[in-house]
Amino acid sequence: QKEVEQNSGPLSVPEGAIASLNCTYSDRGSQSFFWYRQYSGKSPELIMFIYSNGDKEDGRFTAQLNKASQYVSLLIRDSQPSDSATYLCAVSGGSYIPTFGRGTSLIVHP
Amino acid sequence: EAGVTQFPSHSVIEKGQTVTLRCDPISGHDNLYWYRRVMGKEIKFLLHFVKESKQDESGMPNNRFLAERTGGTYSTLKVQPAELEDSGVYFCASSDPVLAGINEQFFGPGTRLTVL
């Protein structure tokens, strides 16, 4: 059974700091990796996706993928209180159907 | 452009009753997905429509769940009869890989189902 593991948190960081969110997955055949942000009571929103080993940067967000270690992470630089949310890691193979982790709760305090 | 909408936002029913959830995808999106999140667990895939056809229904828990997408537009998910373990948040998502280049799924706000 495919599994995606995340620390549930909460991860608490001060405003302006770097938040580091981590995710491991079990299926070595996984091809696509996604990070969703979900505010309380709202729908998950895709914020980053990555396919290749290495880093991918988009604004304050950087996704890092290491397929050999089956590890994907999300770094949020200059964290803001508005970044406080649950971050869901999702992994998929060729079927486009993602397997989700349970999410990590991030709290950015002023 | 309107996003994915779901109705109702909340539903409270008694065990044994029937409930029908509705999802309206983003206009033009051929792909429609249903997911469920049980409290404390991860979001889990239920099924995938391409237009009106069921592409993958491997995640449907049992035959008490019936999904339809007549005409390839909106979709309904009926639970009959509902059981206590069916409680959770049901999400709908839609995507159009041709336009997006990747399978970027846009999620609706979810329907919170409580079975008493």
Interchain pair A103, B42: CB under 8 A: yes
CA Rg value for chain A: 13
pLDDT band, residue B102 (cuts 50/70/90)? low
What is the pLDDT at residue A74?
98
**Looking at CA atoms only, how far is residue A98 from chain B in angstroms?**
8
Written as six digits, the tokens of A109 are: 């305090």
Helix (H, G, I), strand (E, B) or coil at B99: helix
Mean pLDDT, residues A38-56 taken together = 92
Interchain pair A96, B109: CB under 8 A: no
Q: What are phi and psi of B86, to 5 degrees?
A: -80, -10
What is the pLDDT at residue A37?
97
Which of B6, B7, B105 to mutate to probe the A interface, most A CBs <10 Å?
A: B105
Query: Scanning the structure block, which residue is given the tokens 């994915």?
Result: B4
Interchain pair B109, A99: CB under 8 A: no
Q: What mean pLDDT value characterizes chain B?
A: 92
DSSP state letters, A2-30:
--EE-----EEEETTSPEEEEEEES-TT-
What tens digit of pLDDT does each residue of B56-90 get? 999 999 999 999 998 889 999 999 999 999 999 99
- Residue A77 contacts B where some CB pair is shorter than 8 Å: no
Interchain pair B48, A97: CB under 8 A: yes
Angstrom distance (rounded) from CA B77 to CA A4: 26
Interchain pair A101, B42: CB under 8 A: yes
Q: Which residue of A has its CA nearest to B34?
A: A97
Helix (H, G, I), strand (E, B) or coil at B68: strand
Collect all residues with Cβ–Cβ distance below 8 Å to B28 and sequence separation of at least 6: B96, B99
Strand partners, A56: A63
Interchain pair B41, A95: CB under 8 A: no
With CA atoms as reference, report the closest residue to B102 among A71, A49, A28.
Answer: A49
With beta carbons less than 8 A apart as the criterion, state whether B57 and B45 touch.
no
**Nearest-CB residue to B91 (from A43, A46, A99):** A43
DSSP state letters, B19-56:
EEEEEEPPTT--EEEEEEE-TTS-EEEEEEEETTEEEE
- Residue A46 contacts B where some CB pair is shorter than 8 Å: yes
Mean pLDDT, residues A30-41 taken together = 92
Q: E strands, A1-110, where?
A: 4-5, 11-14, 19-25, 32-38, 45-50, 54-58, 61-66, 71-76, 85-92, 99-100, 104-109
